[in-house]
Chain A
Amino acid sequence: MSAALPREPGSAEIAALDAQLQRTWGTGRGLWERLATVDHKIVGRRYVITGFAFFVLAGVLALLMRTQLMKADHELISPDRYNQIFSMHGTTMMFLFAVPIMEAMAVYLVPLMCGTRNISFPRLNAYSYWVYLAGGVMVWIAFLLNVGPETGWFSYVPLAGPEYSAGKRTDFWAQMITFTEVAALAVAVELVATIMKQRAPGMTLARMPLFLWAMLVTSLMVIIAMPAVMLASSFLISDRLIGTHFYNPVEGGDALLWQHLFWFFGHPEVYIIFLPALGMVSSIVITFSRRTIFAYTLMVLALLATGLLAFGLWVHHMFATGLPRLGSSFYTAASMMIAIPSGVQIFSWIATMWDGKPRFQSPLLFVIGFIVIFVLGGLTGVMLAAVPLDLQVHDTYFVVAHFHYVLIGGAVFPLFGAFYYWFPKFTGRMLSERLGRWNFWLFFIGFNVAFFPMHILGLAGMPRRVYTYPSGLGWESLNLLSSLGAFLIGVSVVLFIINVMRSLRVGEPAGDNPWDAPTLEWAMSSPPPPYNFMHVPVVTGREALWQPGPRQVLEGLSPSHREVLCTTALAAEPDIRQPSATPSLWPLWAALATTVWFIGSIFDARAVVWGAFPLAVCLIGWLWPTHPEPFRERSPA
């Protein structure tokens, strides 16, 4: 056993421990090892890159649409292709970019921020990524083969039903939902378990960084919301493939059942995208203001309140369906109420910056851009919560403007800020600040030029999802302006990609903690070693790395096999050492079996039964209990 405590480890001891931990936790360079890896950082990085690739693809579709709408009576894209393009744009942005990339950032960051060596269920994590990748690739191949989704990202029935959307297009959409929701739910469960059980000793709930709070609330929301859309899309695909009648009014079904189930998921979905962004914003604001967050407790309560209220307002998407008046009033009130916790957070960030010493570098610029744009989007949100106004502008470009203000402003701006903020940790190199400023200002200006005119176009009556419009309605110049703005955004994103490529090769070395940030992910080298933490960190205050004195750590986790420390859920006291899963190819095989199962069932309903067998075999191989020999040596008899 070790020498008397407390003590400082010597450099020889550190070097020996590092070598052994590298052997235990490292991922080799061979193909199979890469495919079998369960390192949350490698999986997270893949997730982030894939999510970003889908963002770029969906952005290209947006530019195609803006090119088509640049002038009246434009014949560049056929109506049928245009339907597929706007459906794929929304579907890709919502299901393949926004939710996955937020979870991906969490997959990378949450274990580091908790102070642990891996995510709670590393193999499930690897499986989640493969399933997500398969779903995204499937729907994009379908799109390129002219069988892409065609009924919009929310696929309303009866338009998406068997009668009006013949062929396989909507089936691919519905199965894409199944793929991505399975992936998202798996990550949500991992994150909840990691945050509840693997926080560093001393990181009580009251000391949790706000990003962890945001991810905890988000993951719980995913767990409650996503089953709704899986159920809805399963009903849809069974209506289409095996003749059920869930949405068929002739046989007792109801199209509004789709809308209820979809928006019970769809509205919380907006907050599932938005809450992680709030966590990112808090991290950036604290670090760049050099001050603890103003009103921490209120911030946590605001996150919880947003999470709860988000489930009480799905019907505001359905004001035009003829609801009872009492129902409308209730959902109007709930929709307006959610502005309160959002406002609390915005005032807290402003107060934090006001009272701190803000450094206006790229991450903070994106946060300020977020505040401006999101407040504007929030204001039109409050307007849309009023039924009479909603009915006037329903399905017009006013709504398109509103949700791009809240989604791009509320999620993409913070995400870009987060890229600039955590890129040094991911790669060990800084992004160029000069290119970062160009990236920000082009994005900010381009965004407002692209989307502000849409408010006016919507008020002027331009409906969304039209492939063209006749001349003489006074819509031409604003549409042209909007398209120019969209291209500015495109240029800005290209600059960002150049910045990343360039910085990966010649960026300034980052060091462990280039921003002097307070959270645990900055406690180790950049990029982090495969084992994350050589010793278990002990947290003594809310801003872990800003506490005075030497950093306190615990020893005793095995260096020779994969082990993580579990702490108690509330007080984060050390409780047990748990084995952590070793690399395995089973998650990949299971994901392939899942893919055969889901895609097979599009073409043959019987695949729902036979397709389950290969998956069952893979799951048994994966979950077959292991015999933990090493533990027997260590456990008391």
Chain B
Amino acid sequence: MKHQIVGDVASLPDAAFSHRTLIWWGVLGFILIEGTAFVLAGGSYFFLMNHTTPWPPHRVPPDLLIASCFTALLLLSEIPNVWTDRVAHAERLIPTRIGLAVMTLIGLALIVLRWFEFQHLNIKWDENAYGSIVWALLFLHTVHLLTDWVDTLVLTVFAFIHDLERTHYSDVADNCLYWHFVALAWLPIYGLLYWVPRMLK
């Protein structure tokens, strides 16, 4: 069978942002997977809650202060996150480096806060099913916090020792997208762990 060359793709760009790239679709796929896991874990929380009165069984919900500080900082982190996303799209090297460094520091602060949050759940995972699901939800979110922080750290180190190409700016933008997910996914979990037991009182 004869082939007829009818066009040339050499002039197309070799990097782009957002849904034009494969990585973006990959990140979206993993967000869907992990989002489903969060939804099902949240469903499990309600399923177990239906069997137990009072909820929590020992009537002491997790302490609010540290978790609320965590939530506030996480929400505020969206400001530098959106900014980093924008300067990455504009392919500006110095601001992108600054944005990545700020996000790494905020991530570290959040991890420290999370460490203390675990100490103030007022329940251990092996005391009852309530404790198990509370720890599971917080653990699940912490895994995401840690993985995105390591990813941000790697990008930051890379950005400080190299010039960035468009493909790297695109990686930074995708990392910002994933951070949106980490931040948004926390809000319903925060509601479940800290406010649902208080509303049931």
Contact = CB atoms under 8 A, between A and B. Distances in A.
Interface of A: 1-2, 5-9, 120-121, 124, 185, 188-190, 192-193, 196-198, 223-224, 226-228, 230-231, 234-235, 238-239, 242-246, 248, 251-254, 257, 260-261, 264, 523, 535-536, 538, 550-557, 563, 565-566, 568-569, 574-579, 616, 620, 623-625, 627-628, 631-632, 634-635
A254 B132 CA distance: 12
B7 A554 contact: yes
Interface of B: 1-16, 19-22, 25-26, 29-30, 32-34, 36-37, 40-41, 44, 47-48, 51-52, 57, 125-133, 135-136, 150, 154-155, 158, 162, 165, 167-168, 171
Contacts of B20: 566, 568, 575-576
A488 B37 CA distance: 43
Given A224-B32, A264-B40, A566-B20, A576 B15 contact: yes
Contact of A635 (B5, B6, B14, B19): B14
Given A192-B29, A556-B11, A620-B150, A550 B4 contact: yes
A538 B44 CA distance: 49
9 contacts: A2-B5, A5-B6, A121-B22, A196-B25, A253-B132, A254-B129, A257-B44, A555-B10, A576-B16
Given A224-B36, A252-B48, A635 B13 contact: yes
A625 B51 contact: no
A197 B12 CA distance: 15
A251 B128 contact: yes
Contacts of B9: 536, 554-557, 565, 574, 577
Given A553-B5, A625-B168, A246 B41 contact: no
Nearest to A191: B29
B12 A230 contact: no
Contacts of A8: 2-5
Given A224-B36, A246-B48, A189 B26 contact: yes
Nearest to B172: A625
B100 to A, nearest CB: 12
B131 to A, nearest CB: 8
Given A244-B125, A566-B20, A628 B167 contact: yes
Contacts of B168: 625
B21 A576 contact: yes
Contacts of A568: 20
Given A246-B129, A553-B5, A620-B150, A632 B165 contact: yes
A189 B125 CA distance: 33
Contacts of B5: 2, 5-9, 535, 553-555
Question: Which of B6, B41, B48, B125: most chain A CB closer than 10 A?
Answer: B6
Contacts of A578: 14-15, 21-22
Contacts of B4: 6-8, 550-553
A227 B37 contact: yes
Given A245-B128, A252-B128, A566-B20, A193 B7 contact: no
A253 B44 CA distance: 10
Given A231-B40, A231-B44, 13 more contacts: A121-B22, A228-B36, A231-B37, A231-B41, A257-B48, A551-B1, A551-B4, A552-B6, A553-B6, A555-B5, A578-B14, A616-B150, A628-B165
Q: When A and B form their complex, which 4 residue pairs have the shortest distance between CB atoms, in order from nearest?
A: A556-B10, A189-B29, A252-B129, A243-B126
A120 B22 contact: yes
B3 to A, nearest CB: 5
Nearest to A549: B4
Contacts of A616: 150
Given A550-B3, A555-B5, A566-B20, A227 B47 contact: no
A7 B8 CA distance: 11
Contacts, number: 215
A185 B30 CA distance: 9
A569 B125 CA distance: 45
Given A121-B22, A553-B5, A254 B40 contact: no
Nearest to A228: B40
Contacts of B33: 185, 189, 223, 226-227
B1 A555 contact: no
Contacts of B48: 246, 252-254, 257
Contact of A624 (B6, B10, B158): B158
Nearest to B163: A627
Contacts of A185: 33
B37 A188 contact: no
Question: Which of B7, B32, B36, B128: most chain A CB closer than 10 A?
Answer: B7
B145 to A, nearest CB: 13
Contacts of A257: 44, 47-48
A245 B123 CA distance: 13
Contact of B52 (A2, A244, A252): A252
Contact of B3 (A228, A231, A553, A557): A553
B13 A556 contact: no
Contacts of B10: 1, 555-557, 577, 634
Nearest to B125: A244
A257 B18 CA distance: 38
Nearest to B49: A252
